[in-house]
C-alpha cells in the first residue's frame, strides 16, 4: 500500500506542476448538441448560479453587477485564480472578455476570454453549442475543463441535474 500511495502522491504533484502557468496559453474549443432552445441556452449562460453548479468543484461564478462576472478557478494545491469579465452579446454569441482591475471598461489581453456560440442544430435536435476559451493555462487543462463544462451543462439543461458523486455512498470527499 505504501508504494501505491507514494506513486499516487508523485503523480498528483507532477499533474499540479504541469498545470502551473508557464507562459503558454490554452486556446481550445468543444461543441455539443443540447436539446433545448436558443433562448434557454442564452438564459443559462447569463445565470452565475447555474454556471457555478456546472463548474462544480473547479470554479465558482458570481455577478456583482450587470454584465460583469467574477470567475474563481481552483486548480488545486491551494492555487486559486480570479478574474473579472464583461459580457458582450451578439446574435448567437456570448463573449466573456476579461477586464483589468476595477475598471470594467478596459479589456485585458493577458487574461481569459470565453466565447459561447449557439445555433439551431440540424433536424430540429435542439441547439448546437460551441464553447471556445483563450485561457492563461496550458491547453490540456483548458480542453479538459471545456469538456466537463459542456457535459455537465447538457445534463443540467436536459435533466435538471448536474452529474455528481456527492450523494453516492462510495463517493470521496468533494463533488467530483
C-alpha–C-alpha distance, residues 65 and 53, integer Å: 20
C-alpha–C-alpha distance, residues 176 and 167, integer Å: 11
Work out how many domains the chain is built from and give that number. Answer: 1
Do the Cβ atoms of 70 and 82 come closer than 8 Å? yes
Let me know if residue 12 belongs to a domain.
no
Can you give the pLDDT at residue 61?
A: 93
Let me know if residue 171 belongs to a domain.
no
pLDDT in tens, the chain (176 residues): 556 555 555 545 555 555 444 555 567 888 999 999 989 999 999 999 999 999 887 789 999 999 999 988 876 677 788 889 999 999 889 999 988 765 444 434 456 788 999 999 999 899 999 999 887 767 777 788 888 889 999 999 999 988 877 677 775 665 55
Do the Cβ atoms of 134 and 112 come closer than 8 Å? yes
| pLDDT digits 0-9 by tens, 38-56 | 899 999 999 999 999 998 8
Let me know if residue 78 belongs to a domain.
yes
Let me know if residue 148 belongs to a domain.
yes
C-alpha–C-alpha distance, residues 144 and 158, integer Å: 21
In the structure grid, which three cell numbers stand for residue 2, read together?
Answer: 505504501
Measured in whole angstroms, the distance separating CA 106 from the mean position of its chain's CA atoms is 23
Let me know if residue 46 belongs to a domain.
yes
Return the CATH number at 77: 3.30.530.20
Contacting residues for 105 by C-beta, under 8 A, at least 6 apart: 86, 99
Can you give the pLDDT at residue 106?
A: 40
Let me know if residue 144 belongs to a domain.
yes
- Name the residue range of residue 114's domain: 22-159
Q: Is the pTM of this model over 0.85?
A: no
Residue 27 has φ and ψ, to the nearest 5°, of -110, 110
**Residue 39: is it exposed, middle or buried by C-beta count within 10 angstroms (0-12/13-18/19+)?**
exposed
Let me know if residue 112 belongs to a domain.
yes
Let me know if residue 123 belongs to a domain.
yes
Amino acid at each position: 500500500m505504501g508504494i501505491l500511495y507514494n506513486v499516487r502522491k508523485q503523480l498528483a504533484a507532477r499533474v499540479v506542476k504541469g498545470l502551473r502557468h508557464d507562459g503558454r496559453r490554452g486556446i481550445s474549443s468543444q461543441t455539443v448538441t443540447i436539446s433545448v432552445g436558443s433562448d434557454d441556452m442564452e438564459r443559462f449562460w447569463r445565470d452565475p448560479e447555474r454556471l457555478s453548479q456546472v463548474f462544480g468543484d473547479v470554479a465558482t461564478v458570481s455577478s456583482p453587477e450587470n454584465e460583469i462576472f467574477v470567475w474563481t478557478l481552483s486548480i488545486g494545491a491551494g492555487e486559486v485564480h480570479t478574474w473579472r469579465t464583461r459580457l458582450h452579446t451578439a446574435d448567437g454569441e456570448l463573449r466573456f472578455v476579461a477586464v483589468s482591475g476595477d475598471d470594467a471598461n478596459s479589456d485585458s489581453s493577458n487574461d481569459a476570454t470565453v466565447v459561447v456560440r449557439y445555433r439551431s442544430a440540424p433536424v430540429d435536435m435542439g441547439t448546437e453549442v460551441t464553447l471556445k476559451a483563450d485561457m492563461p493555462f496550458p491547453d490540456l487543462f483548458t480542453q479538459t475543463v471545456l469538456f466537463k463544462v459542456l457535459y455537465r451543462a447538457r445534463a443540467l439543461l436536459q435533466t435538471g441535474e448536474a452529474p455528481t458523486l456527492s450523494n453516492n455512498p462510495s463517493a470521496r470527499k468533494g463533488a467530483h
